[in-house]
Chains A and B, each alone.
Chain A
Amino acid sequence: MILAHPQKCVSCHLCEGACSFQHEGAFQPAKSRIHVHDFVDEAMYVPVTCFHCKDAPCLSNCPTYAISRDPETGMVSVNDDTCIGCKMCMVACPFSVMSFHEEKNVSQNCDLCGGDPQCVKICVYDALEYTDVEPNEWMIRLNQAEQPAGAAS
Chain B
Amino acid sequence: MPYGWIGQILRVNLTSGTAAKEPLNMKWAAEYLGGRGLGTRYLYEEMDPTVDALSPENPLIFATGPLTGTYAPTGGRYMVICKSPLTDAVACSNSGGYWGPELKFAGYDMVILEGRSPKPVYIWVNNDHVEIRDAAHVWGKNTEETEDALRAETDPQSRISGIGPAGENLNRVACVINDKSRAAGRSGVGAVMGSKNVKAIVVRGTGGISVADPLQFGALVFEAMKEINASPTTAMALRGLGTASTVGFTNTVGILPTNNFQAGQFEHADAIGGQTIANTVLKRNKGCYSCPIGCARVTETLPGSRYSGHGEGPEYETIFGLGSDCGVGDLDAVLYANYLCNLYAVDTISAGGTVATAMELAERGYIPQEDLAEVGTELEFGNADAVMRCLEMMSYPKGKFSRLLAEGGYRLAEHYGHAELFMGSKKQDFAAYDARGAKGMGLGYATSNRGACHLRGYSMAVEWFAPQEMRLDPFTTDGKAAVQVELQDKAACEDAVGICTFSAFGGVTPDKLAPMYNAATGENLSLEEWMKAGDRIWNLERLFNNKAGLSRKDDSLPPRMTREPLTNGAVQGQVVELAPMLE
Q: Which residues of A contact B (CB under 8 A)?
A: 7, 10-14, 17-18, 20-21, 24-31, 40, 43, 45, 121-122, 124-125
On whether the beta carbons of A10 and B285 are closer than 8 Å, the reply is yes
Q: Which 4 A-B pairs have the closest CB atoms?
A: A28-B208, A26-B208, A30-B206, A17-B71
Which of A7, A14, A24, A43 meets B71, CB within 8 Å? A14
Taken residue by residue from 444 to 487, chain B's Cβ proximity to chain A (1 for < 8 Å, 0 otherwise) reads as 00000000000000000000000000000000000000000000
Q: Is the CB of A12 within 8 A of B208?
A: no
A56 to chain B, nearest CB (A): 26
Bound CA span A122–B71, Å: 9
Q: How far is the CA of A21 from the CA of B228 in the complex (A)?
A: 21
Docked-complex contact B290 and A12, CB < 8 angstroms? yes
Report the minimal beta-carbon distance from B239 to chain A, rounded to whole angstroms: 8
The answer to whether B290 and A28 have CB atoms under 8 Å apart is: no
- State how many angstroms separate the Cβ of B315 from the closest Cβ of chain A: 16
Residue of A nearest to B127 (CB): A30
The interface residues of chain B lying within 8 Å CB-to-CB of A7 are 284
Report Cα–Cα, A17/B71, bound state, in Å: 6
At the interface, yes or no: B291 with Cβ under 8 Å from chain A? yes
Quick one: closest A residue to B229, CB to CB?
A124
CB pair B294–A12 under 8 Å, yes or no, is yes
Point out the residues of chain B lying under 8 angstroms from A122, CB to CB: 71, 222, 225
How far is the CB of B157 from the nearest CB of chain A, in Å? 9
- Picked from B179, B206, B286, the residue with its CB within 8 Å of the CB of A10 is B286
- Pair A18/B71 contact, Cβ less than 8 Å: yes
Alpha-carbon distance between A6 and B207 when the two chains are bound, in angstroms: 27
Chain A's closest residue to B228 (CB) is A124
- Interface flag for B218 (CB, 8 Å): yes
**Which residues of chain B are within 8 angstroms of A13 by Cβ–Cβ distance?**
98, 289-290
Provide the B176-214 mask, 1 if CB < 8 A to any CB of A, else 0.
Answer: 000110000000000000000000000001111111001
Would B208 and A20 count as touching, CB distance under 8 A? yes
How far does the Cβ of A81 sit from chain B's closest Cβ, in whole Å?
Answer: 25
Task: Give bound CA distance, A10 to B179, whole Å.
Answer: 14
What is the minimal beta-carbon distance from B211 to any residue of chain A, in angstroms?
Answer: 8
Are A124 and B207 in touch, CB under 8 angstroms? no
Is the pair A17, B70 in contact by a Cβ cutoff of 8 Å? yes
Is the C-beta of B273 less than 8 angstroms from some C-beta in chain A? no
**A12-B288 CB under 8 A given contacts A17-B70, A27-B71:** yes
Contact between A10 and B98 (Cβ–Cβ < 8 Å)?
no
What CA separation (Å) do A122 and B229 show in the bound complex? 11
> A43–B283 contact, CB under 8 A?
yes
Check A12/B209 contact, CB under 8 A, given A27-B69, A30-B105, A124-B225.
no
Closest B residue to A21 by beta carbon equals B71
Asked if residues B291 and A12 are in contact (CB atoms below 8 Å), the reply is yes
- Of A27, A45, A125, most B-chain CB atoms within 10 Å: A27
Q: Assess whether B287 is in contact with A11, with CB atoms less than 8 Å apart.
A: yes
Q: Are A28 and B288 in contact (CB under 8 A)?
A: no
Q: With a CB–CB cut-off of 8 A, which chain A residues contact B285?
A: 10
A-side contacts of B288, CB under 8 Å:
12
CB contact between B214 and one of A12, A25, A40, A43 (< 8 Å): that residue: A25
Q: Are A43 and B289 in contact (CB under 8 A)?
A: no
Q: How far is the CA of A40 from the CA of B214 in the complex (A)?
A: 32
> What 0/1 pattern do residues 224 to 250 of B give for CB contact below 8 A with A?
010011000001000000000000000
Inside 8 A of B228's CB, which chain A residues have their CB?
124
Q: Answer whether residue B292 sits at the interface, using C-beta atoms and an 8 A cutoff.
A: yes
Instruction: Tell me the nearest residue of chain A to B221, going by C-beta.
Output: A122
Q: How many angstroms between the C-alpha atoms of A123 and B206 in the bound complex?
A: 22
Which residue of A has the minimal Cβ distance to B206? Answer: A30
Output the least CB separation between B149 and chain A (Å). Answer: 14
Q: Which residues of B contact A25 (CB under 8 A)?
A: 210, 214
In the complex, the answer to whether B214 meets A29 with C-beta atoms within 8 Å is no
B residues 76-128 near A (Cβ < 8 Å) are 98, 105
Any A CB within 8 A of the CB of B298: yes
Known: A12-B288, A12-B290, A14-B290. A21 touches B218 (CB 8 A): yes
Some 13 contacts from A to B, beta carbons below 8 A apart, are: A10-B284, A10-B285, A10-B287, A10-B291, A12-B292, A25-B214, A26-B208, A28-B206, A30-B205, A30-B207, A43-B286, A121-B222, A122-B225
